[in-house]
Structure 1
Amino acid sequence: MAKLSIVILNWNGISFLKTFLPEVVKTADLPGVEVVVADNGSNDGSVNWIRENLNQVKTIEFDQNYGFTGGYNRALSSINSDYYLILNSDVKPTDGWLQPLIAAMDRDINIAACMPKTLAFHSPEHFEYAGAAGGYIDRFGFPFCRGRILSHVEKDSGQYDNTCDIFWATGACMMVRASAFHSAGGFDEFFFAHMEEIDLCWRFKNMGHRILFVPESTVYHVGGGTLPNDNPRKLFLNYRNNLILLVKNLPSGMLLTTLFARFFMDMGASLVFLLSGKWRFSMSIIKAYCAFYKKSFHYKRLRKQLEHSSRNTLHPEIYRGSIVYDFFFKKKKTFTSLNFKED
């Protein structure tokens, strides 16, 4: 049994594997650490390349693409380790990145997940969009990070180099306690991809666990390796999955008012896309609502089941304001400008 399994889910990502996997293997050469690539039905020769060039890497092959959620659930169910490190194939690690993460998990059994500082591979002086220095959400379910508010990404000048509790850790590089992952039921496979890590971390938080940011560990993330940020499909998944995670995890007293407010906010966004000539993006939001309502009864039943395992649903890491209003009307574009602890 390994102490830590670094698990990379791959789908036709041989170029990323050639670029980044050798460095992952090199920096993971530690006692009790193994590297596993779970392949989601690739047809680009990824698995053969790994076996020919990095035979110390274990491989798991699936017959088709089960998405981020289904692929990881299947992979992690067959791996026996204390900790899993869920790692995107387009992440470049740095020397010594693993030890601080392992030490943080070892110190407190109540920590379900932790993440490193995540910087942009193509702009290494800046934080990376999907994770930065730790994730949060506002009262309406909009995610943001220390180092990234909506579209504004900050330069890393050490302003967030403190260990702290966060609301969610990025799925690009997230160390998870295996027992907590399985106790929470793993990833929600209906999500397929996008926001599944926020949903998992929210369930961790509701179960009474902690999520930690560890600044002593740093990685560089390319980002957008599966779907680029300007893809209508990605927009659809983000809106649909965001609504689902609200229904599953919000406290009862906030659910109806939040969904009511979100409807008008999202329809406003759809109208802006339409008036800008981006009708495919406008339709992505409409389709997201249709898909959400189609599954709403299922998730209301699931919500009742999850309530039995919830110890706490009020978390200080949920911003009580509106990140959208603060960004566009108050011009607050950095995490420190939010005066988070005072709101």
Structure 2
Amino acid sequence: MTPKVDAVVVSYNVRDLLVECLASLVVAQAAGEIARIVVIDNGSSDGSADAARRAGPNIQVVEAENHGYGAGANAGIARSDAEYVLVLNPDTVIPAGSIATLTAWLDAHPSHAVVGPRLRRPDGSIQSSRRRFPRPWTPIFESSIIEEWWPRNPVATSYHLSDRSDDVVQDVDWIVGAAMLVRRAAFEQAGGFDESFRMYAEEVEWCWRFQRHGWRVGFVPTTEIVHHEGASAAQDLPRRLAEFNASRVQLTGRLYDRHWESVVRVAILLDYVIRLSRESAKWLLGNRRQLRMERMRFYAAALRRGVRRG
């Protein structure tokens, strides 16, 4: 009999959080909410793979080279034959019954390729996890110096769906990839994650591709999952910033054209220059010089790296 749901966790150097995630999945497995648990360890050096093996008797651990999150997720999905696959970040905790609720929702909505829950941080605050697709100019106004100066600018607020309540079930353009329950039939039709997106934006492109094949994306806030948010990404921040912006440039080219890709690339580099200049001016004025020096080094490193992957 084909299993209903398998879980795939892609992890990198977050051993303690991974163990907490797996503990919640083992409970779900014992309750019959999931069949397999597959962990793809992307070359961790902190003992994550061994810790995952000790987390439960029915956990399949695959030690892989780090070719990015999407590649790891695809490798995990390839080891599943379930009707649905729950793709998870390792810094999530899954409350009892959550997977069953999402599964029942996807059963009742056969036109949907993927459904995502509401995400909460450990302190109980909501992490925004639903979005519209970015417009070509979105990276100029969102996660940028402009958004810092003008937080409620209409481009950023539209992108974040600020005009809609997140208390109601709804179709969205895409959901944050921390927790995605994916229908195998949709995966087989549209393909897996695009592995050229090593980190960031891979779930945006995936949801975009699902919709190009006629599928829909759902957001179900009645199910909530805890997300520690960005634990793996906290390592080597200049590199992560470069990866984030490189993915935004790549996504712009994928969804639109090379002209807009070039515009976004220049805008991001200008953003780095403005931030570096601001911190340099504050350093010259004697304003918290140690902090300013740290930030100057950070933005200088980001500027040297440019909008490319390292």
Q: Which TM bucket (shorter chain)?
A: 0.7 to 0.9
The structure 2 residue matched to 1:190, chosen from 191, 196, 210, is 196
TM-score scaled by structure 1? 0.71
Aligned twin of 1:134: 130
User: Is residue 117 of structure 2 the alignment partner of residue 116 of structure 1?
Assistant: yes
Aligned length: 276
Deviations 1:146-197 (A, max 9, x none): xxx988999xxx9521011111111111111123224323112222111111
Answer whether contact 2:6 2:37 (CA < 8 A) is retained.
yes
What is the SS of the residue equivalent to 1:194? coil
Percent identical? 25
User: What is the correspondence of 1:192-341 to structure 2 with a 5 Å cutoff?
Assistant: 192-228=198-234, 231-250=237-256, 255=257, 258-259=260-261, 261-263=263-265, 265-275=267-277, 276-277=279-280, 278=296, 280-281=298-299, 284=302, 287-289=305-307
Q: 1:264 to 1:104 in 2, by over 3 A?
A: same
User: Is residue 65 of structure 2 the alignment partner of residue 70 of structure 1?
Assistant: no
Aligned twin of 1:60: 62
Inter-partner Cα distance in structure 1 for 2:52 and 2:232? 20
Specify the code of the residue in structure 1 equivalent to 2:47.
G
Inter-partner Cα distance in structure 2 for 1:172 and 1:66? 18
Answer whether contact 1:136 1:167 (CA < 8 A) is retained.
yes
TM-score scaled by structure 2? 0.77
Answer whether contact 1:136 1:144 (CA < 8 A) is retained.
no
Give the gaps of 5 or more residues in structure 2.
Answer: 281-295
User: What is the correspondence of 1:25-174 to structure 2 with a 5 Å cutoff?
Assistant: 25-28=26-29, 29-30=31-32, 33-62=35-64, 64-121=65-122, 123-124=123-124, 126-128=125-127, 132-139=128-135, 140-142=137-139, 159-174=165-180
Q: CA RMSD in A?
A: 3.1
Specify the code of the residue in structure 2 equivalent to 1:281.
Y
